[in-house]
């Protein structure tokens, strides 16, 4: 015990001195990390001098008992076993005064374990080192046998503590637990590729279901197993790395090896020193609604290490503590070999997160966004260019779709008076009314397939959903000013407007006394701290978009449909800015750009269509008649997907007309009596 040991010195720097990217302060409890902060360029707020703190020891009060402190990466305990006698003892290592910092070596600590009579048993040593120019830390431990007999030691260490609560609450809490693994040897097939799990296990699932203790109090399980998971045990997955991740940052544990010396099967990448990973909850009795404040800590249960008489054993593990930036995770040879880039996902999670967010598409869009930024040097301009590229790529589909919708709308408007007359004439005969409507459509050359013009627009939705997810999770946008920081330049850096694309635009910051959390949607929004301009501008653009693109009411629409259309024209432009009020300004720029380009694109398509006479009902009718005549004299040719849809619609229309004709014929024909009718001859 070292009761009078001085406070341990820190390691690294926050100003980039010596190439360090972080600063680590150590705790006297278990020689763990009291604080790990990222260096230059990583602040809590744009105008703040407080650096991002990814790891910190946490103390939680326990009513009626002493407070409980959790220290990330602390040595918790060690179990020493004498193989000859079978005797074993578990010694706690997390108490204050157990460890002493080695003289002249910051980040190096030693501790001694003695027998009951005071004889030396085992010497323990732990060392931390920051890899210059990276966000990587190595943690080495050494166990030295001080006896003349063999011993076995088993370490229990703390892993990372849960990441801090997100600064901005928009979109909810995206803190997760992730794993990287090799498949079973047969499935791995000699490949060294590390698979990143796609489960995206959120904090709620990690905490699990609530239980009732022996005293009848509800709580989360204070201790539960994270790895191996049921799926990993069943499929034979082998652990490579594990991590706590947030929206923009991650703290991952991984093995340390030479990437150049990895064999075909990647066995060197396995995290073999770890036998099991548990999650501990320091304050399990919190209310269910206080889930965000639950403090979780990983515990590493290591594999036993055999120590020869007077022998020693050494193990090293690595920690990545930094941003989820593609460049940092792919340029470092060790991190690239671990496929730690798999920590980056543009996915909201949930039951259909992978499928609903179209994750495969998000990586393509982000690659285009990064390329645009390499040219422009500004992320806001890059977002605008990305939307422009996407709309240009989808223009042929949009054009095909909108022309058919416009033609169908024009045709329906032209026959509206005739449809109204049919309704009035056959108001008491719905079947006859339907038959006459079908006949009118055929005579006027109206194809029901024109109503399918909205289908290609729906097929585009995966692209826009993927783009939304990409911009939401893109760590590259964090603390990046829009338009080369022009608004900050003209005000000497005082104006926060568009100073951070990952936050609302903050047109007018509100004093702290006026900060508020909206009712009902406060869990998504968080605290409102400013008056934002872009959501209001977005509402205006959406209103113009609705007004310009919504088809005019026609006689074919019922009163209820017309009323619904009017409500949507008002509600959509009103509700979207409300839901997006606290959204990152990068996302709002995307919505405004997309809607503006949509209006311009539609105007261009409509102008060209009218110029070429594509929307003239009489010309459309004549073209349909000419096509039918030509089709009757020429063999049919196979068409594309849309042509097949149109042909199918025409077939259905013809079948409906034939059916209607037969029904009419049957109605006009007298029923012949069956020969079995007794009165047949008499009536005849």
* Lowest mean pLDDT segment, chosen from 289-303, 511-525, 595-609: 511-525
User: Model confidence over 469-487: pLDDT tens digits?
Assistant: 899 999 999 999 999 999 9
At residue 275, φ and ψ (nearest 5 deg) are -90, -40
Angle at 347 between CA 343 and CA 351, to 5 degrees: 115
Comparing CA positions, the residue from 259, 239, 242, 243 lying closest to residue 303 is 239
Cβ atoms of 546 and 569 within 8 Å: the answer is: yes
Same domain, 142 and 221: yes
What is the spatial distance between Cα 170 and Cα 484, in angstroms, rounded to a whole number? 25
CB-based burial label for 596 (10 Å; 0-12, 13-18, 19+):
middle
What is the spatial distance between Cα 70 and Cα 279, in angstroms, rounded to a whole number? 12
In sequence order, which residues have a C-beta less than 8 Å from that of residue 553 and are 6 or more positions away?
562, 565
117 in any annotated domain: yes
What is the spatial distance between Cα 250 and Cα 175, in angstroms, rounded to a whole number? 9
75 in any annotated domain: yes
2 in any annotated domain: no
In sequence order, which residues have a C-beta less than 8 Å from that of residue 403 and are 6 or more positions away?
453, 605, 609, 614
* The most confident of 312-316, 450-454, 591-595, by mean pLDDT: 312-316
Supply the DSSP string of 591-607, one letter for each residue.
HHHHHHHHHHHHHHHHH
Same domain, 74 and 185: yes
Q: Read off the tokens for 253.
A: 């544990």
574 in any annotated domain: yes
180 in any annotated domain: yes
Distance of CA 296 to the CA centre of its chain: 22
pLDDT: which is higher, 307 or 646: 307
In sequence order, which residues have a C-beta less than 8 Å from that of residue 135 and are 6 or more positions away?
21, 22, 38, 320, 321, 322, 323, 328
Q: Read off the tokens for 341.
A: 């880039």
CB-based burial label for 449 (10 Å; 0-12, 13-18, 19+):
buried
Confidence at residue 153, expressed as pLDDT on a 0 to 100 scale: 96
Cβ atoms of 333 and 259 within 8 Å: the answer is: yes
Same domain, 561 and 532: yes
Supply the DSSP string of 501-541, one letter for each residue.
TTS---SEEPPGGG-B--TTTHHHH--B-EE-SHHHHHHHH
Confidence of residue 7 (pLDDT cuts 50, 70, 90): confident
Q: Read off the tokens for 60.
A: 């939680």
Count of alpha carbons within 13 angstroms of residue 129, beta-carbon side: 11
Q: Read off the tokens for 642.
A: 């849309």
Same domain, 334 and 424: no
User: Model confidence over 194-239: pLDDT tens digits?
Assistant: 999 988 888 889 999 999 988 899 999 999 999 999 999 899 999 9
Confidence at residue 657, expressed as pLDDT on a 0 to 100 scale: 54
Confidence at residue 255, expressed as pLDDT on a 0 to 100 scale: 96
Comparing CA positions, the residue from 165, 183, 182 lying closest to residue 174 is 165
Using alpha carbons, list the distances in angstroms from residue 568 to 545, 591, 593: 12, 18, 21
Residue ending a domain, choose from 582, 597, 621: 621
Confidence of residue 2 (pLDDT cuts 50, 70, 90): low
Please check the confidence at residue 527 and state whether its pLDDT lies above 80: no
Confidence at residue 680, expressed as pLDDT on a 0 to 100 scale: 42
Confidence at residue 630, expressed as pLDDT on a 0 to 100 scale: 67
CATH of the domain at 156: 2.70.98.90
Report percent pLDDT > 90 for the chain: 45
Rg (CA), the chain: 35
What is the spatial distance between Cα 582 and Cα 166, in angstroms, rounded to a whole number? 14
How many angstroms separate the first and last alpha carbons of the chain? Answer: 122
Same domain, 584 and 457: yes
100 in any annotated domain: yes
Same domain, 187 and 130: yes
Whether the upstream peptide bond of residue 228 has omega within 30° of 0, thus cis, is yes
Confidence at residue 191, expressed as pLDDT on a 0 to 100 scale: 92
**pLDDT (average), residues 499-509:** 90
User: Model confidence over 556-614: pLDDT tens digits?
Assistant: 555 665 666 667 667 777 888 888 888 899 999 999 999 899 889 888 888 888 887 77
Distance of CA 379 to the CA centre of its chain: 20
- pTM for the whole thing? 0.83
CB atoms within 10 A of CB 386: 24
Comparing CA positions, the residue from 179, 181, 188 lying closest to residue 345 is 179
Element (H, E) at 156: strand 151-161
Dihedral angle computed from the Cα positions of residues 358, 362, 363 and 367, in that order, rounded to the nearest 10 degrees: 150
Please check the confidence at residue 681 and state whether its pLDDT lies above 50: no
Please check the confidence at residue 350 and state whether its pLDDT lies above 80: no
Same domain, 82 and 45: yes
What is the spatial distance between Cα 104 and Cα 36, in angstroms, rounded to a whole number? 21
Same domain, 339 and 410: no
At residue 160, φ and ψ (nearest 5 deg) are -70, 155
Confidence of residue 522 (pLDDT cuts 50, 70, 90): low
Please check the confidence at residue 405 and state whether its pLDDT lies above 50: yes
3 state SS of 449:
helix
Question: Mean pLDDT of all residues in the chain?
Answer: 83
At residue 620, φ and ψ (nearest 5 deg) are -65, -40
At residue 116, φ and ψ (nearest 5 deg) are -60, -30
pLDDT: which is higher, 438 or 322: 322
3 state SS of 107:
coil
Cβ atoms of 321 and 36 within 8 Å: the answer is: yes
**pLDDT (average), residues 100-113:** 91
Please check the confidence at residue 666 and state whether its pLDDT lies above 60: no
Q: Which domain holds residue 314?
A: 11-345
Angle at 302 between CA 300 and CA 303, to 5 degrees: 155
What is the spatial distance between Cα 31 and Cα 156, in angstroms, rounded to a whole number? 13
Confidence at residue 683, expressed as pLDDT on a 0 to 100 scale: 42
Same domain, 145 and 39: yes
182 in any annotated domain: yes
DSSP assigned state of 303: P
Q: At which residue do the structure tokens 């080192």 appear?
A: 129
User: Model confidence over 17-68: pLDDT tens digits?
Assistant: 777 899 999 999 999 999 999 998 899 988 888 999 999 999 998 877 888 8
3 state SS of 617:
helix
Residue ending a domain, choose from 345, 371, 393: 345
Confidence at residue 296, expressed as pLDDT on a 0 to 100 scale: 94
672 in any annotated domain: no
Same domain, 127 and 258: yes
Confidence of residue 349 (pLDDT cuts 50, 70, 90): confident
Comparing CA positions, the residue from 470, 486, 235 lying closest to residue 377 is 486
Confidence at residue 674, expressed as pLDDT on a 0 to 100 scale: 47
3 state SS of 146:
coil
Q: Read off the tokens for 240.
A: 């490579």
Confidence at residue 168, expressed as pLDDT on a 0 to 100 scale: 76
Q: What residues pair up with 302 in beta bridges, in sequence order?
A: 274
Q: Read off the tokens for 276.
A: 């099991």
Same domain, 262 and 307: yes
Angle at 568 between CA 449 and CA 535, to 5 degrees: 120
**pLDDT (average), residues 352-380:** 84
Same domain, 234 and 322: yes
Confidence of residue 678 (pLDDT cuts 50, 70, 90): very low
Domain count, the chain: 2
Confidence at residue 312, expressed as pLDDT on a 0 to 100 scale: 96
pLDDT: which is higher, 79 or 453: 79
Cβ atoms of 497 and 487 within 8 Å: the answer is: yes
Exposure b/e, 141-161, CB count within 10 A at least 16 = b: bebbbbeeeebbbbbbbbbbb
What is the spatial distance between Cα 209 and Cα 237, in angstroms, rounded to a whole number? 25
Report percent pLDDT > 70 for the chain: 81
């Amino acid at each position: 015990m070292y009761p009078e040991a001085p406070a341990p010195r820190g390691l690294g720097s926050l100003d980039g001195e010596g190439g360090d990217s972080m600063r680590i302060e150590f705790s006297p409890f278990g020689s763990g990390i009291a604080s790990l902060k990222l260096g230059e360029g990583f602040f809590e707020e744009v105008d703040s001098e407080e650096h991002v703190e990814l790891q910190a020891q946490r103390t939680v009060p326990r009513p009626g008992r002493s407070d409980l402190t959790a220290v990330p990466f602390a040595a918790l305990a060690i179990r020493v076993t004498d193989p000859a006698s079978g005797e074993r003892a578990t010694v706690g290592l997390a108490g204050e005064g157990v460890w002493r910092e080695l003289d002249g070596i910051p980040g190096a600590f030693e501790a001694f374990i003695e027998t009951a009579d005071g004889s030396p048993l085992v010497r323990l040593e732990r060392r931390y080192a920051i890899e210059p120019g990276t966000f990587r830390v190595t943690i080495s431990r050494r166990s030295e046998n001080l006896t003349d007999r063999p011993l076995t030691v088993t370490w229990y260490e703390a892993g990372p503590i849960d990441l801090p609560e997100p600064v901005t609450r928009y979109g909810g809490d995206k803190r997760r637990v992730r794993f990287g693994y090799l498949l079973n040897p047969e499935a791995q097939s000699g490949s060294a590729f590390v698979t990143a799990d796609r489960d995206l296990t959120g904090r709620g699932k990690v905490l699990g279901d609530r239980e009732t203790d022996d005293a009848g109090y509800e709580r989360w399980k204070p201790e539960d197993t994270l790895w191996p998971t049921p799926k990993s045990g069943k499929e034979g997955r082998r652990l490579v790395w594990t991590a706590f991740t947030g929206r923009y940052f991650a703290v991952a544990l991984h093995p340390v090896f030479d990437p150049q010396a990895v064999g075909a099967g990647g066995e060197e990448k396995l995290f073999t020193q770890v036998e099991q990973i548990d999650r501990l909850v320091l304050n399990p009795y919190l209310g269910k609604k206080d889930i965000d404040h639950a403090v979780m800590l990983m515990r590493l249960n290591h594999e036993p290490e055999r120590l020869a008489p007077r022998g020693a054993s050494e193990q090293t593990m690595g920690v990545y503590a930094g941003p989820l930036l593609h460049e940092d995770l792919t340029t470092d040879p060790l991190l690239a070999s671990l496929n730690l880039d798999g920590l980056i996902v543009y996915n909201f999670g949930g039951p259909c997160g992978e499928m609903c967010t179209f994750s495969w598409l998000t990586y393509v869009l982000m690659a285009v966004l990064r390329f645009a930024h390499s040219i422009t040097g500004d992320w806001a301009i890059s977002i605008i260019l990305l939307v422009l590229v996407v709309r240009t790529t989808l223009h042929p589909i949009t054009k095909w779709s909108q022309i058919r919708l416009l033609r169908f709308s024009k045709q329906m408007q032209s026959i509206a008076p005739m449809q109204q007359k049919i309704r009035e004439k056959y108001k008491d005969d719905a079947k006859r009314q339907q038959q006459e409507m079908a006949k009118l459509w055929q005579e006027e050359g109206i194809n029901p397939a024109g109503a399918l013009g909205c289908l290609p627009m729906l097929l585009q939705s995966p692209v826009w959903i993927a783009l939304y997810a990409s911009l939401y999770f893109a760590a590259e946008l964090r603390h990046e000013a829009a338009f080369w920081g022009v608004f900050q330049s003209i005000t000497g850096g005082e104006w926060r407007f568009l100073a951070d694309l990952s936050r609302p635009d903050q047109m007018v910051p509100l004093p702290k006394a006026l900060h508020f959390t909206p009712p009902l949607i406060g869990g998504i929004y968080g605290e409102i701290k400013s008056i934002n301009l872009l959501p209001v501008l977005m509402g205006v653009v959406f209103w113009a978009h609705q007004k310009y693109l919504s088809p005019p009411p026609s006689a074919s629409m019922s009163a209820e449909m017309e009323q619904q259309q009017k409500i949507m024209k008002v509600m959509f432009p009103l509700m979207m800015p409300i839901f997006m009020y606290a959204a990152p300004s990068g996302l709002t720029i995307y919505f405004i750009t997309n809607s503006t380009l949509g209006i311009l694109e539609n105007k261009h398509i409509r102008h060209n269509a009218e110029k070429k006479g594509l929307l003239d009902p009489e010309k459309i009718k004549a073209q349909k008649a000419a096509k039918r005549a030509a089709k009757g004299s020429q063999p049919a040719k196979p068409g594309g997907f849309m042509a097949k849809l149109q042909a199918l619609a025409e077939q259905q229309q013809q079948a409906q007309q034939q059916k209607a004709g037969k029904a009419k014929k049957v109605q006009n024909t007298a029923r012949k009596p069956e020969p079995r009718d007794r009165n047949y001859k008499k009536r005849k």
